[in-house]
Amino acid sequence: MDVADLSPAQARERFRAGERVPTAGWCSGWTQANLIAVPKELGYELLLFAHRNAQACPVLDVGEPGAWSTALFPGDLRTDLPGYRLYREGKAVADLDDVVAEWRDDLVAFLIGCSFTFEQALLRAGVPIRHLDMGTNVPMYRTSVACQPSGTLSGPLVVSMRPVPAALVDVAIEVTRRYPQVHGAPVHVGDPAAIGIADLGRPDFGDPVEVRPGEVPLFWACGVTPQAVIMASGVDFAIGHLPGHMAILDARDDDYRVP
């Protein structure tokens, strides 16, 4: 069975069994989400950060303190993502297959919209997606764009990049604009240096993809932003997903499409 045809529950079962793979192209028609879990004492600052930086951090669901499932993610947040990244004192200290041993009773889990959610809509509109064609992870970059701070939290906007044929740039903007809760329209079109990206060939997260002649790099706000902010702000303890290795929700991508 093609991974595009799996249900969210089937995908979560495979990840729980140990498969570690980026989720672009998985579970066609279903919503994917970023995970960031922090101690509840940081919950206010993080939720306010998300509110103030809503294009990068659209909150789709929030778990109760200590809970490892939510209304939209009826699996186990500790095991049912294909990969995790553990942070201590603002540093990424481990990439893990599960976080059962690391989960804490005081953690609140935020599920943040992910641009993988609108990729099917881009394909339907005739916009090719290089990382899907290559079977790799999407490239993601820290930018020189500062997020709006919240309390002790500050840091750079992270973006994902997709090269789009020049003639299709308007289509890609129009299609993704209709999905504001999964990052919406691009935040930047064209010159990577204008947002502080020195080398497209060396993403900070994920895999590089070729930008061919006649193509324009389009940059979308990315839900890895909270992880970059956790690092920039020296947060004591946090758990994120491994970038590109998303939580797959029991929510249709159409649920996040506006007219």
Task: Give the residues lining the site for a second copy (CB under 8 A).
Answer: 40, 43-44, 47-48, 51-52, 59, 62, 108
Which one, 167 or 258, has the nearer CB to a second copy? 258
Nearest residue to 182 (alpha-carbon basis) of 127, 80, 254, 83:
254
Q: Do 225 and 158 contact (CB within 8 A), yes or no?
A: yes
Give min distance, CB of 79 to a second copy, in A.
25
Give min distance, CB of 42 to a second copy, in A.
9
Give min distance, CB of 53 to a second copy, in A.
13
Handedness of CA 225, 181, 162, 1 (dihedral sign): positive
Neighbours of 193 (CB within 10 A): 11
- Per DSSP, 151 falls in state T
What is d(CA 53, CA 37) in angstroms, rounded to the nearest whole number?
17
- Per DSSP, 214 falls in state T
Give min distance, CB of 153 to a second copy, in A.
13
Which one, 64 or 210, has the nearer CB to a second copy? 64
Which one, 16 or 52, has the nearer CB to a second copy? 52
Which one, 59 or 86, has the nearer CB to a second copy? 59
